[in-house]
Amino acid sequence: MDKQGFTTGIVHGDRQPGAEHGGVRQPIHTSVQYGFERVEDLIGVFQGTKKGGFNYARQGTPTTAALERKITSLEQGVGSICFGTGMAGICAVFLTLLRAGDHLVSSRYVFGNTNSVFGTLRTLGIEVTTVDATSADAVANAIKPNTRMVFVETIANPGTQIPDLEGIGALCRERGLAYVVDNTITSPALFVPKAVGASLVVNSLTKTIAGHGAALGGAVTDTGLFDWSTYPNIADDYRGSAPKEQGLLQVRKKGLRDMGGSLSSEQAHSIAMGAETLALRVARCSDNALALARFLEGHEAIGRVFYPGLESHPQYAIAQKLFKGASWLLSFELRRADRMIDFVNALKLPIKATGLGDTRTLIIPVAPTIFHEAGPEVRKSMGISDGMLRLSAGIEDAEDLIADFDQALKLAL
Ligand SMILES: *Cc1c(COP(=O)(O)O)cnc(C)c1O
């Protein structure tokens, strides 16, 4: 079954012989409690000796478990944990695998709320250094004796910087550091971070994987590459399991069970439905983003265009080598920031909204919205100018998008 193509795997990978009434889709299990005929089985689920059992929905349901298996298979990992949001998954990783006195090295170019979490980690005594991770040397130079983990995003939002994913993977392997890669923007349809040595992969399921903008969710996947028996922060309770499983087990117990950012069965089902068309959507959105990027790059009202599918992008070669497409994320600058409001209001198709990876094209001015709270200094360090707009290309017909931009840009000249 491992030899199957990506989409075949998604739509056939979770067939269950003997399903009730022959149901083709995974049922939505709404039970919070799970009862047993024999109390020994209830005890076994609590003690982990009865595999695959459920006891209380905060720790997972058959529906969320089915989605976890799907994500694990897409990421070619050894296990996944689903969360109620991507941020719940990211926080669970940091808060359960880092301790006071530890040091985290992160790319400077990360999702705004992740950057905000770094502030919280600092209040808890965890040091965080952010560097320009497009250079593996910059990451190497930041490493200290108490460094435990390196965190990057595959394509940074909104500036589309791509870290030296392979170089950092080699560095983490050499230094024995956990390498956490946020794959949200690329999704496993374009890139599998295990290929560059990632230890853990984070996905906001809300974005590309669900694709419909109708459910929130997140996932953490262990690639099986990291030997957690060498990692100092695993609690004694979890040292008993296989070295590859200890990290995820601790995240499941301390992060999901105790912190409680659980995914509901209804949302898990909705995300699993969206995931079936993942590869189709991502290919179409990437084509649309590239067509728009080319159109914008040649337009007199436009300053810089940030899109890894353009030859002009600083990490174009990495994108070509590692990714199956350059994704739906595209940012650009108007030459005249003072024309921003008129231009965006003149657009008819794109929805003026935050959010990413939807079937509909979404557009948002970056500085006054998602990076407003970050302040001018952080914006400057991340290369975010006042005239920057972020676009999440949808699955519309490219000609319609280009025609709409063409008419609206007349107001930006
Ligand atoms: C949206 C996003 C997240 C957070 O996901 P939510 O599901 O909204 O909590 C994390 N990382 C990246 C790169 C994102 O775009």
In angstroms, rounded to a whole number, what is the distance separating the alpha carbons of residues 138 and 129? 11
Beta-carbon contacts of 337 under 8 Å, excluding residues fewer than 6 positions away, are 385, 386, 387
Inter-CA distances, 120 with 94, 96, 166, 221, 271, Å? 10, 14, 29, 23, 29
Q: Which atom of ligand 1 is nearest to the CA of 90?
A: 10
Q: Rounded to the nearest 5°, which phi and psi values hold at 54?
A: -125, 150
Fold of 278-412: Aspartate Aminotransferase, domain 1 (3.90.1150)
User: Does domain 6-30+61-275 fall into CATH 3.40.640.10?
Assistant: yes
Torsion sign across C-alpha atoms 161, 322, 315, 355: negative
- 38-91 pLDDT per residue, tens: 999 999 988 888 888 899 999 999 999 999 999 999 999 999 999 999 999 999
Query: Residue of the nearest CA to atom 8 in ligand 1?
Result: 86
| E strand segments, 210-326 | 218-222, 302-306
- Per-residue buried b or exposed e for 116-145, using 16+ beta carbons within 10 Å of the residue's own CB: ebbeebeeeebbbbbbebbebebbbebbee
Surface-to-core class of residue 369, CB atoms within 10 Å of its CB (0-12 exposed, 13-18 middle, 19+ buried)? middle
Q: Is the CB of 180 under 6 A from ligand 1?
A: no
Q: Tell which atom from ligand 1 comes closest to the C-alpha of 153.
A: 13
For 42, 235, 242, 381, the CA distances from 46, given in Å and listed in that order, are 7, 18, 18, 48
**Closest C-alpha among 174, 128, 133, 175 to residue 153:** 133
The C-alpha angle with vertex 148 and arms to 244 and 235, in degrees rounded to 5, equals 55
Q: Is 185 in the pocket of ligand 1 (CB under 6 A)?
A: yes
Query: Which residue is it, tokens 């407003």?
Result: 372
Rounded-to-integer distance, Cα 175 and Cα 328, Å: 34
Per-residue pLDDT tens over the stretch 296-328: 999 999 999 999 999 999 999 999 999 999 999
Q: Is the pTM of this model over 0.85?
A: yes
Q: Where in the chain is the domain with CATH 3.40.640.10?
A: 6-30+61-275
**Within the chain, which residues score under 70 in pLDDT?**
1-2
**Whole-number Å distance between alpha carbons of 325 and 186:** 8
86 Cα: distance to centroid of ligand 1 (angstroms): 5
Give CA separation, 195 vs 169, 171, 250, 350, in Å: 9, 14, 24, 34
Dihedral, CA of residue 263, residue 162, residue 372 and residue 96, to nearest 10: 40
Q: Write the CB contacts of 106 (distance below 8 Å, at least 6 apart in sequence).
A: 114, 118, 128, 129, 130, 131, 133, 150, 151, 152
Nearest CA residue ID for atom 7, ligand 1:
86
Task: Supply the angle between the helices 86-97 and 112-123 in degrees, to the nearest 10.
Answer: 30
* 124 C-alpha to ligand 1 centroid (Å): 22
Domain with CATH 3.90.1150.10 in the chain: 278-412
Does residue 218 line the site of ligand 1, with CB under 6 A?
A: yes
What is the DSSP secondary-structure string of 375-396?
HHHHHHHTT--TTEEEEE--SS
Atom of ligand 1 nearest to the CA of 87: 9
